Structure 1
């Protein structure tokens, strides 16, 4: 649409269909740190909500996924999607399809992002993956306790740890580097900040 003062509103282009709009969203480039900031804000709150809503089966599925993740790390197998599955299972544990769809969309954007893939390819050691597994175990422990604030904080810290690692591995002189734009901005961590 084009809005012209004293002239009116003009339709410049009509979307062909919803699939085209979804496709263009998937391919619009978002930097890795902008993506992590969005994930941190959304997934921390989703984890807090999941702490109240998760069923026994949800917790068991999360536990099994972490066991698979641990086996994959030990075997140096990077082909699995255990990390992604863990985050999707938490969103599913909210029992809210819209929240699950939102997290799926975030991961689809991540997986389709050349900038993310380039940065993520620099993670060559088990050390990072073991650190993030420990983060996942902390998140699961808080979910098991139905600790809303603990779940929020554990997920928030997990995203901080990912950002810190990716910041270390980033080429800060690259024109597409967006890390300096998205510092940690704690919105709510047990009290208003």
Structure 2
């Protein structure tokens, strides 16, 4: 990234999540205490409850809070400032296609496992997220990252904290990779968003049927679609192009990897 380039604007959920984190660090909410309700937080910042929910999910995935159904959001630990070593890790030189390769291998199996483990509440949250995205597309609203939220909620539906943390880590790599951000701007048009929405609906339908193989295949094909789209948009001669990585990974049909 050029030194003179303006830093990427942070999304609202990230700003709210960081503000809540700082309040916890400052002692406003000690360990074991309950955060204000979503409705109150949304009114305080003048945003939708969806954005607040994403901010809380971000804090839950890092282990700072615990979101308990029908009870509230509780502080689990006092976060510390990220070390230079950790920040360097998330700024490491990992190409966008290498990230997609990791996601395809990991998230296909996550989707399959979620088809077995997802609760009714998980499926309802995923359904609500897709409805939000459908409305956002109709209004040409790009303020909410429902794509990211869908994938994080799907990982959460496995009921496995390590899988949740791993998916969150990959998304952090996305957010800190300039080349990925440059490519992503090209696939956030209305036509592509409708395509990703359709892919997500296929995955959710498989989860509802408890169709393990259908969920696996749905996620594999979704990320294959993203990969093929990025291949078309990329300059194969660019020094940072890493699309060749996918040529060595076969597409498995009819079985889990």
1:83 and 1:108 map into 2 onto residues whose CA distance is: 14
- Contact 1:160/1:184, CA 8 A, preserved across alignment: no
Unaligned runs of 5+ in 2: 1-80
The match for 1:67 among 108, 124, 131 is: 131
The match for 1:24 among 88, 94, 97 is: 88
- Aligned pair 1:156/2:220, yes or no? yes
- TM-score, length basis structure 2: 0.65
- Contact 2:109/2:256, CA 8 A, preserved across alignment: no
Higher mean displacement: 62-71 or 76-85: 76-85
1:32 and 1:91 map into 2 onto residues whose CA distance is: 20
- Runs of 4+ with >4 A deviation: none
- TM-score, length basis structure 1: 0.86
Structure-2 change in CA distance of 1:143 and 1:184 (3 Å)? farther
2:143 and 2:213 map into 1 onto residues whose CA distance is: 33
- Contact 2:116/2:212, CA 8 A, preserved across alignment: yes
Q: Which residue of 2 aligns with 1:41?
A: 105
1:184 and 1:84 map into 2 onto residues whose CA distance is: 27
Q: Which residue of 1 aligns with 2:148?
A: 84
Question: Cα RMSD over matched residues?
Answer: 1.9
Structure with the bigger RCO (C-alpha within 8 Å, sep 6+) is 1
Q: Secondary structure at the match of 2:187?
A: coil
1:61 and 1:184 map into 2 onto residues whose CA distance is: 36
How far off is 1:24 after superposition? Answer: 1.7
- Contact 1:152/1:189, CA 8 A, preserved across alignment: no
- Contact 2:213/2:255, CA 8 A, preserved across alignment: no
Higher mean displacement: 99-108 or 120-129: 120-129
How far off is 1:155 after superposition? Answer: 0.2
Structure-2 change in CA distance of 1:152 and 1:97 (3 Å)? same
How far off is 1:121 after superposition? Answer: 1.6
How far off is 1:191 after superposition? Answer: 3.4
- Aligned pair 1:122/2:191, yes or no? no
1:1-29 deviations in Å (ceiling 9; x for gaps): xxxxxxxxxxxxxxxx9833322210102
How far off is 1:183 after superposition? Answer: 2.8
- Aligned pair 1:191/2:225, yes or no? no
1:33-81 deviations in Å (ceiling 9; x for gaps): 0000000000000000000000000000000000001111111112211
2:256 and 2:122 map into 1 onto residues whose CA distance is: 30
Q: Which residue of 2 aligns with 1:97?
A: 161
Unaligned runs of 5+ in 1: 1-16
Structure-2 change in CA distance of 1:79 and 1:184 (3 Å)? farther
